Structure 1
Amino acid sequence: MQRLNNNTVQMLADVASLPAYERDAQQAGILHLGIGAFHRAHQAWYTEALLNKGAQNWQIIGASLRSATVKDQLAGQDGLYTIVERGPDGEKFQVVGAVKDVLVGPQAPATLLEAMSHPAIKIVSLTVTEKGYCHDPASGNLNASHPDIVHDLANPETPRSAIGYIVSALNVRRLAGTQSFTVLSCDNLPNNGEVLEKVVLQYADKLDGDLAAWIRANTTFPCTMIDRIVPATTDTDRQELEGKLGLRDEGMVLAEPFSQWVIEDKFCSDRPAWEDVGALLVDDVHAYEIMKLRLLNGSHSLLAYTGYLAGFDYVSEVMREPVLAKLCQVFMDREVGQTVQVPAGFDMEEYKVQLRERFSNPGLKHRTWQIAMDGSQKIPQRWLQTLQAQLEGEGNIDLLCLALAAWIRYVGGTDEKGQSIDVQDPLAAELRSLCEEHHNDPVARVNAVLSVEAVFPPAIANSESVRAITADWLTRIQNQGVLAAVKAVLS
């Protein structure tokens, strides 16, 4: 079977949207760290739309800081790949050409640094997930003992972390007298630009105070809010697409039709006019990101842990279970909805309905296990800020504690049928050890897990009500199972 590439792409003219510009005539203006499926279905998709409208020199050089998987997928395809939009009404296909090249940091760190340092690059963006910031989620500070940070401080010319690459490239710019680039975080973190700026400056201060001062004076870190559900691509998905297109596409990505991107308009260099293709450029992203993190991501994680424990593989299946669909609605309306400030002119009730419809989309095979990954990095933003707000306002915390109990049950490593769970989390070993140590005592297990300082701030860890309600939920889940425990309360 032929591969999708520059020579074969015109074969798809009748079934897919194709790039409407001369790719070879474009120069890269963006370098993106962490070129996974989400970036290709979101920021690269917006950029592709802009290139199709005639924008010049905004192609993307992608970079992986871990494996060569994406490079291997796209190298034989001249950087082309297909976005498959799956909605309730069927599928749409779009071939994207915005990615000019893919580099692999571990294979050639000097090549990546050289690319980041090139004056044509105006923006360095990143989607490296929460753990890629090498920070303490509870405090937001740089984790100076993180192995990658320890390595990068000792070897700044051959970094491993996104933070190390950014600072080293900025240092090259400083020494060359070249304009700085804007550093654009597109990860699911509240105040993501501020978090990134903080760890970058703390890291730079450890290297060179003058460098840190230059970054403060010349570099900006806009906050963003990103939203699109992008499930992991499987070999079955690739095989199905091959049958529909007649070409093999190793780099395909799946996505729902919905997409949203809110960007703080704070750039120190030129930028694409993303607002011309649907992005929202604003003075303050905060209200949008809090709303999305708490309502969408918070509910998504709740459904992932409770749904996985109850035996559901996909979120759409979870939403077909009336007990868990009701749980999602009450969680949004009560615990979360009471803590969210609504942007002017925004219809919050319609947004919540829309979210539940998106979760229910049968076209997306979004695995509960995938969403459950890296919970120790995600729940501080998705649940704990909401929980803190409810504690301060003496609001309802019952379902937030249920969420914590389901997560604690999950990281224990066995599901309700006694089968092993492949827990993917930076703290997986520590969390599992704590759960096993207190396997027969839910109260002690909750107290032990809530004492993990890398996840839980003291105000939550020391809250008697949080500990008691979470332990009560964990006991019910252990004795009755998730569905029965939730049904007994919601009914």
Structure 2
Amino acid sequence: MTPLNKTSLPHLPPEIVVPAYDRSKVTPGIAHISVGNFHRAHQAVYIDRVLARAGQEGWGLLGVGLMETPHEALKAQDMAAQDCLYSLTECAPDAPNLVRVIGSITEYMYAPADRAATIARLADPTIRIVSLTVTEGGYYVDENGVFPLDHPVIAEDLKRDVPHTVFGLLTEALRQRRESGAGPFTILSCDNLPQNGHVARAAFLGWARARDAGLAQWMEENVTFPCTMVDRITPAVHPEDVKRLDAESGLDDRIPVFCEDFIQWVVEDKFCAGRPELDAVGVQFTDNVEPYEAVKLHMLNASHSLLGLSGVLSGYRFVSEIMLDLNEVALVEQYLAFDAEPLLHAPPGMALREYGRRLLHRFRNKAISDQLLRIAFDSTSKLSMFIRSTAMGVIAHGRPVERIAFVVACYAEYLRGRDDKGTIYDVVEPHLTDEDRLKAASAHLEDALDMTAFAGWDLRESAIFVQRYLALRQSVRDRGTRATLAEVVSTGE
């Protein structure tokens, strides 16, 4: 196999697509915090495209690893060994896979190794945008838009001279930029959150006000926080996937990524320090991202949550296999048609029914075979983002609550960590409190409705919902998830 680095790049086989620009001339103008698989399959791809355009060489990517974990430390080593190059395999449901090498990340820093140096690098005036993928729960902002200064992670970070959190790192970098006259940068959230720019603004300004009121005012007046909508299904990459992808590409790549062939990025055009020519390479710029994000969050992401929770409980582990279960497909079809779509306002030119059909086609893509446990990860945060508004709308309009009650029941049962076959799985819920766990495990099944995940849903206010939730959750325990699901979808609405 051929090692992947800048020396081997010019000599790769012609069937592998390589960067169409001279990487030696590229300098970072964007820093990205938390360089996960999704960023490498999405934003880094668009930047890879834009760097091929004349005059755009100042918009390369500086990757920043944020979390102090062995996995993140190893990623930093792998990025250095490969000169920040990696292969991306794009998988279409009905065409051969396409392998391309992405070269847009030209520099990488592991923040825990030297946070002061990372802050200084972010303070460099050449960095004009800082983008983020820190997960839905990584902003800490509650359902009322309040940034919790008393949260242990935040309270501890505010005491540090050199902060550890993303809020502290970026705020400190902005402080240095204000003092040096370098000016602000745009903070660009790329996480699956409704109005993610507003959420990011609340989080960063909340942290800054607690640290330095004058700096917070300067940030409020100068830093921009565009809203975005991102879309591309990108599975986790396990060791067996690395072997498979490298065997297919012929590359000795330590950090390959694979994804579907579909990609979309909608961005509010609000950048305080300039931006690359992303509109020329497929990014949609708009004054109002909300209709796009509402459709994506409440249709695609919500469907994923339905499949992830019910699928894991049923003993499935991959989306491609669960899509062979006609009742699971019916669950998604009915949820989209009867629960989500009636409450949505499609952006211009989008037909919701066709969007739903396209989703099911994407989910059936066996080549990407996304992991249900990855999808179920952090459902405590995801349900609030993806299901809450639909649930509240369904209840308020007096619509049948079967599917909403079913997903709530599945979430509560999922937290027990054992599927219908008796197989134990890891429950990874970083935002689940100890009190939440007690409520989920309570012999009084209705106590689960008071968990953090359902804050602000007012589920107990609907006697019909509570009745159906209790009945369906008990049914999952007594009869199993698949039998319960068959009952839920049997009515057709």
TM bucket by the smaller chain?
A: over 0.9
| Residue deviations 1:160-203 (CA, integer Å, cap 9, x gap) | 21111121111111122221000000000000000110111111
Q: Is the 8 A contact 1:225 1:289 kept in 2?
A: yes
Residue equivalent to 1:127: 133
2:461 is equivalent to residue 457 of structure 1: no
| Residue deviations 1:298-350 (CA, integer Å, cap 9, x gap) | 00110011111111110111111111111111111011111111112212111
Residue equivalent to 1:94: 100
Which secondary structure does the structure 1 equivalent of 2:62 belong to? Answer: strand
Tell me the CA shift for residue 226 of structure 1: 0.3
Which secondary structure does the structure 2 equivalent of 1:317 belong to? Answer: helix
2:475 is equivalent to residue 476 of structure 1: yes
The amino acid that maps onto 1:4 is L
Residue equivalent to 1:297: 301
2:265 is equivalent to residue 266 of structure 1: no
What is the distance in 2 between the residues matched to 1:396 and 1:275? 42
Q: What's the TM-score once normalised by structure 1's chain length? A: 0.95
Residue equivalent to 1:386: 390
The amino acid that maps onto 1:460 is L
2:47 is equivalent to residue 47 of structure 1: yes
Tell me the CA shift for residue 74 of structure 1: 1.3
What is the distance in 1 between the residues matched to 2:464 and 2:262? 38
Unaligned runs of 5+ in 2: none
| Residue deviations 1:441-476 (CA, integer Å, cap 9, x gap) | xxx22x222212464216235443332222121111
Residue equivalent to 1:396: 400
What is the distance in 1 between the residues matched to 2:281 and 2:364? 27
Residue equivalent to 1:364: 368
Judged with a 3 Å threshold, the aligned counterparts in structure 2 of structure 1 residues 461 and 163 are, in CA distance, closer, same or farther, namely: farther
Q: Is the 8 A contact 1:83 1:252 kept in 2?
A: yes
Judged with a 3 Å threshold, the aligned counterparts in structure 2 of structure 1 residues 462 and 115 are, in CA distance, closer, same or farther, namely: farther
What is the distance in 1 between the residues matched to 2:183 and 2:129? 11
The amino acid that maps onto 1:355 is L
Q: Is the 8 A contact 1:48 1:98 kept in 2?
A: yes
Residue equivalent to 2:119: 113
What is the distance in 1 between the residues matched to 2:191 and 2:74? 20
Aligned runs of 1:423-434 on 2, under 5 Å?
423-426=427-430, 427=432, 429-434=434-439
Q: Is the 8 A contact 2:32 2:64 kept in 1?
A: yes
| Residue deviations 1:371-422 (CA, integer Å, cap 9, x gap) | 0000111110110111122233333332111111111110122211223221
2:224 is equivalent to residue 220 of structure 1: yes
| Residue deviations 1:19-54 (CA, integer Å, cap 9, x gap) | 111111111000000101000100000010111233
Residue equivalent to 1:7: 7
Q: 2:352 aligns with which of 338, 348, 351?
A: 348
Which secondary structure does the structure 2 equivalent of 1:14 belong to? Answer: coil
Q: Is the 8 A contact 1:412 1:431 kept in 2?
A: no
Tell me the CA shift for residue 214 of structure 1: 0.4
Q: Is the 8 A contact 1:149 1:164 kept in 2?
A: no
Question: Which 4+ stretches in 1 moved above 6 angstroms?
Answer: none
Q: What's the TM-score once normalised by structure 2's chain length? A: 0.95
Tell me the CA shift for residue 287 of structure 1: 0.6
Q: Is the 8 A contact 1:218 1:268 kept in 2?
A: yes
Which secondary structure does the structure 1 equivalent of 2:32 belong to? Answer: strand
Q: 2:75 aligns with which of 70, 73, 85?
A: 70
**Mean alpha-carbon deviation: is it higher for 63-72 or for 179-188?**
63-72
Tell me the CA shift for residue 135 of structure 1: 2.6
Which secondary structure does the structure 2 equivalent of 1:102 belong to? Answer: strand
What is the distance in 2 between the residues matched to 1:450 and 1:145? 24
Aligned runs of 1:205-284 on 2, under 5 Å?
205-284=209-288
Q: 1:313 aligns with which of 313, 317, 326?
A: 317
Residue equivalent to 1:141: 146
Judged with a 3 Å threshold, the aligned counterparts in structure 2 of structure 1 residues 280 and 51 are, in CA distance, closer, same or farther, namely: same
The amino acid that maps onto 1:34 is S
Residue equivalent to 1:152: 157
| Identity percentage of aligned residues | 34
**Mean alpha-carbon deviation: is it higher for 36-45 or for 472-481?**
472-481
Aligned residues: 483
Judged with a 3 Å threshold, the aligned counterparts in structure 2 of structure 1 residues 453 and 409 are, in CA distance, closer, same or farther, namely: closer
Judged with a 3 Å threshold, the aligned counterparts in structure 2 of structure 1 residues 41 and 458 are, in CA distance, closer, same or farther, namely: closer
Residue equivalent to 1:441: none
The amino acid that maps onto 2:209 is D
Which secondary structure does the structure 2 equivalent of 1:354 belong to? Answer: helix
Q: Is the 8 A contact 2:171 2:208 kept in 1?
A: yes
Q: Is the 8 A contact 1:310 1:481 kept in 2?
A: yes
Tell me the CA shift for residue 490 of structure 1: 2.0
Unaligned runs of 5+ in 1: 439-443
The amino acid that maps onto 2:165 is S
What is the distance in 2 between the residues matched to 1:434 and 1:459? 16
Aligned runs of 1:436-455 on 2, under 5 Å?
436-438=441-443, 444-445=444-445, 447-453=446-452, 455=454
